[in-house]
Amino acid sequence: MAEHNDLGTIGEDIAVKHLHDNGYTILSTNWRFGKDEIDIIAEKGDFIVIVEVKTRASSGYGEPEVFVNQAKQRFLVRATQAYLEKNNVEKETRFDIISVILNNTTKKINHIEDAFYPVL
């Protein structure tokens, strides 16, 4: 596996632990709908929380969350609609981003709730 894939997997593991430690129930990880993937599907209170995880070794090219562009958001919304329909979920849905900067000296987690709203 490529080193950047290893970093991404570690970042997702860190995000799952962060969510669990903050009272979220993890429903699924790496859920796929065709080519689209949702990193983490969680539940907290009355919300289904769709989480995109972005992990980088540094913020030299910008904070990781800025790489969740409109195209990625559309893919997430499409996959979320499929997940909700397939599982007959009628809870309100929220889209969060967890960015992780991880290297030999730094471990920084930024959880952005309501990071974006679906555009239909």
Of the candidates 21, 96, 84, 117, the residue with the CA atom closest to the CA atom of residue 51: 96
Whether 20 contacts 40, CB under 8 Å: no
Query: Do the domain assignments include residue 108?
Result: yes
Q: Given this model, what pLDDT does residue 82 score?
A: 96
Give the mean model confidence (pLDDT) for residues 65-80.
93
Q: Residue 64 sits in a domain of what CATH number?
A: 3.40.1350.10
Query: Do the domain assignments include residue 11?
Result: yes
Alpha helices in 24-108 (DSSP H): 70-86
- Total of domains in the chain: 1
Query: Do the domain assignments include residue 118?
Result: no
Query: Do the domain assignments include residue 59?
Result: yes
Q: Is the pLDDT of residue 3 over 80?
A: no
> Cα–chain-centroid distance for residue 20?
14
Share of the chain above pLDDT 70, in %: 95
Give the mean model confidence (pLDDT) for residues 23-27.
98
- Better-scored residue on pLDDT, 102 or 2: 102
Q: Is the pLDDT of residue 58 over 90?
A: no
Query: Do the domain assignments include residue 84?
Result: yes
Q: Which domain holds residue 24?
A: 3-112
